[in-house]
Structure 1
Amino acid sequence: MSGSMLFSLLLLTCVPCCIISSSANDQLLVNMTLVQNASAIGAYCLDGSLPAYHLHRGSAAGASNWLLQFEGGGWCNSVASCLDRAKTHRGSTLYMDQMEPFSGILSNNASRNPDFYNWNRVKIRYCDGASFAGNSIFDNGTSLLYFRGQRIWEAIILDLLPKGLSNAKKALLGGCSAGGLAVFLHCDNFATYLPTNTSVKCFSDAGFFLDARDIMLNNTMRAFYKNLTSLQGVVDNMDKNCTKSEYYPEQCIFPQYALPYIKTPVFILNTAYDVYQFHHILVPTSADPHGVWNHCKINPAECSPNQIDILQGFRLEMLNALRFFIEYSRRGGLFINSCFAHCQSESEDTWSGADSPRVNNKTIAEAVGDWYFGRRDTMEIDCAYPCDNTCHNLIGLRSSFRHYNGTSRFKHLT
């Protein structure tokens, strides 16, 4: 281990876990907590560093309520991509920022996050590359990788239980992107750690990844997930009722197959034109080698009529995959809007801002809160693009992705 990496590790282990700071724009920053006991159950990030989370304590009426949010950030499905990832903040806590901003659903601002602002709020850092679900090791004598996502999840829960989670009155397990997928994988398991009288629910943001063919009719995402689940030993940690069903076991990583077996109430937040899925499931680079879709990917207004038809077909495919949930889920919630975006719960602009997306004049924050607290049923489905004029702050976004094992960044064109 280099001297600089060792110094970073010492900083993480020596600074008290509850230090809070604010930036000039009054953004809440929360310090990282390394899980010191994680090694006792073999829970390590890809590179062997300790897993971590950020905890901001609740107060007043929210002091006994807990919100846990899985961090997102793609996946790695090969030794080469995982070795690359292990040298970044997506595979090692040694490269992560010590302070993490809390906004959107994690905000402590009552006006911006009225239902969850005073809960105990936890951001679970992502460093395994398999949505916190792997359980294996790669060691060829030269390179060593820890595929220990499942144990990371368990180690963090065990660390939080004596800090008050074991006495939670209300609890919500959430996540965005790969973290949103982790919600489907761990939702029922989360409930088993908590008292039987705890109100436990789950919330997935941009985690409903479709088992869909790309524009060349190839199952690109299915092949990717098959390699992922095999490499990292994910299948053993999936719902056994699903893996023993008519599907191939590795297909149960797709929420559309796993969701019918989840007993805990779930809220699904997704855009019908999720840009990650648009760029990597529907139109991956392998299916568009000449870049015919490049302008459409950058700005939907530049899509041809034929491309719009294909996107509308993708939207219908998502709605069809959710049909059983819409028709038969009595305790579930849904918010499917028609913005070109990816992850909408962790930013004020899309969570509850004055200019944030709405369906039936309801913000995402209002929809999730109404569902969790049982104020009213929430099954909101937007009309098809381009009818929604609340998406004007999202449609013009330029997206720049590194492939599946990368991170997502958005930059305004204007």
Structure 2
Amino acid sequence: MISARSRQWLSLVAIVLTIISLKADGASVGITFLQDAVAKGAVCLDGSPPAYHFDKGSGTGVNNWIVHIEGGGWCEDVATCLSRKKTDLGSSKLMVKQFGFSGLLSSQQKSNPDFYNWNRIKVRYCDGSSFTGDAVDPANNLFFRGRRIFDAIIADLSAKGMKNAKNAILSGCSAGGLAAILNCDRFRALLPATTKVKCISDAGFFIHAKDVSGGQHIETFYSKVAKLHGSVKNLPASCTSRMGMRPELCFFPQYVVQTMQTPIFFINSAYDSWQIKNILAPTAADKGKAWKNCKLDLKKCTPAQLNVIQDFRTSFLLAINRAGVLNSPSKGMFIDSCYAHCQIGKQITWSSDSSPVVGSTKIAKAVGDWYYERSPVRKLDCPYPCNPTCPKVDTESALDG
């Protein structure tokens, strides 16, 4: 038996080793508040200034830039936005002052050989609309200013050297991955014509699909977000001009990506855990909680539920195909079969001995090969549960979009 004192000592050692590991991976990056943006109306839900974390590039990467947007879902009505503004997803007053950089943002050459010495920026997400909104609710003191925040941050980074960028990437995870899609062509337009610009969406390809009850839960949800935040006017015009009376459907990547001009790469699971939990089988469509255990662990799904989930994969791949990803030389993808959500921000899934492999390739190499055009990259995994390199169980929460 291990004594209580020994357990405490082992716990302390584990904490110290974790801290050392994080520091070795360039973890502690301080926050920058854009106080000047407030005068432009570029503010978080509660009116506080937007913020980001910036680790400067060096050597051959001094003129290369990665702007990465964090995830965190959306707020679709006044009540959820009021609740959200009491958290770091709605107020920069509540954000941590130091943020850990790993995966795509790692400063370690061994684990991130293609991007380790670039200027790396983590954009904090505090508007609740994937940086698309531009409205105000004075009665509830809510500011829906996602578009202004995006423009203010890009302007600030341009003044700090991004205007001289040789290479630039806009990336994001989940709601940030959706933001990277919806703002990709705009990002391209805000940078010099001489800059090589590409975008990366990690777990941001949310599909337009029915839920298990046959309802349109996610369509209704995104429509509410777009209406509340005043997003439609800021969604890509190349999409909204084609959608007739339903321009809000341009919140769905499958309609936007078809007409995008800027090269983009998609990292996604065909069994994205957030989408299965919140698009396919949301609580509102699962009154009897028949899907509760299945959503926690696919091994706990019934054969009938697994058939539904395999059909969801088919719908996801069809949406990717219709978006033109499979036949475009400028687009790339890494679609695995892991029950996962967001994979480029953590070293364990980005580039480690435990990272998922598709076609003998890990995510970090696939992204680097695509960005530097070493080879076309369209990696598509076999159906679940075929991939032994996938993590055993998804560890993300049910509401981490």
TM-score normalised by the chain length of structure 1: 0.90
Matched, 1:186 2:183: yes
1:204-353 superposed matches below 5 A: 204-246=201-243, 248-324=246-322, 325-353=324-352
Task: String of CA shifts for 1:204-263, please: whole Å, max 9, x gaps.
Answer: 000000110001110100000000000000000011121121351000010000111110
Match of 1:46 in 2: 45
**For residues 119 and 226 of structure 2, what CA distance do their matches in structure 1 show?**
32
Match of 2:394 in 1: 397
Q: Secondary structure of the equivalent of 1:267?
A: strand
Structure 2, gaps ≥5 residues long: 1-17
Residue 398 of structure 1, CA deviation: 4.7
Structure 1, gaps ≥5 residues long: 1-21, 409-414
Match of 1:16 in 2: none
Task: String of CA shifts for 1:342-386, please: whole Å, max 9, x gaps.
Answer: 000000010001110010010000000000000000000000001
Residue 327 of structure 1, CA deviation: 3.7
- Asked whether the equivalents of residues 271 and 341 of structure 1 are also in contact (C-alpha less than 8 Å), the reply is yes
**Residues 385 and 165 of structure 1: CA distance in aligned 2, closer, same or farther (over 3 Å):** same
- Asked whether the equivalents of residues 106 and 346 of structure 1 are also in contact (C-alpha less than 8 Å), the reply is yes
**For residues 320 and 201 of structure 1, what CA distance do their matches in structure 2 show?**
24
- Asked whether the equivalents of residues 184 and 199 of structure 2 are also in contact (C-alpha less than 8 Å), the reply is yes
Match of 1:11 in 2: none
- Asked whether the equivalents of residues 23 and 29 of structure 1 are also in contact (C-alpha less than 8 Å), the reply is no
**Residues 30 and 197 of structure 1: CA distance in aligned 2, closer, same or farther (over 3 Å):** same
Match of 2:116 in 1: 117
Match of 1:167 in 2: 164
Matched, 1:23 2:22: no
Q: Secondary structure of the equivalent of 2:35?
A: coil
Match of 1:362 in 2: 361
- Kindly provide the amino acid, as one letter, of the partner of residue 250 in structure 2: C
- Asked whether the equivalents of residues 273 and 394 of structure 2 are also in contact (C-alpha less than 8 Å), the reply is no
- Asked whether the equivalents of residues 243 and 249 of structure 2 are also in contact (C-alpha less than 8 Å), the reply is no
**For residues 44 and 299 of structure 1, what CA distance do their matches in structure 2 show?**
38
RMSD between aligned residues: 1.2
- Kindly provide the amino acid, as one letter, of the partner of residue 265 in structure 2: F
Residue 400 of structure 1, CA deviation: 3.1
TM-score normalised by the chain length of structure 2: 0.93
Between the two proteins, what is the percent identity of the paired residues? 47
**For residues 397 and 238 of structure 1, what CA distance do their matches in structure 2 show?**
31
**For residues 306 and 59 of structure 2, what CA distance do their matches in structure 1 show?**
49
Match of 1:3 in 2: none
- Asked whether the equivalents of residues 298 and 399 of structure 1 are also in contact (C-alpha less than 8 Å), the reply is no
Match of 2:385 in 1: 386
**For residues 313 and 274 of structure 1, what CA distance do their matches in structure 2 show?**
13
Residue 328 of structure 1, CA deviation: 2.8
Match of 1:80 in 2: 79
Residue 139 of structure 1, CA deviation: 1.4
Match of 1:92 in 2: 91
Count of residue correspondences = 379
Task: String of CA shifts for 1:381-409, please: whole Å, max 9, x gaps.
Answer: 00000111111x2x32354334xxxx46x
**For residues 144 and 152 of structure 2, what CA distance do their matches in structure 1 show?**
14
1:138-149 superposed matches below 5 A: 138-140=137-139, 143-149=140-146
**For residues 130 and 105 of structure 1, what CA distance do their matches in structure 2 show?**
24
| Pick aligned residue for 1:158 from 155, 160, 169 | 155
**For residues 401 and 223 of structure 1, what CA distance do their matches in structure 2 show?**
19
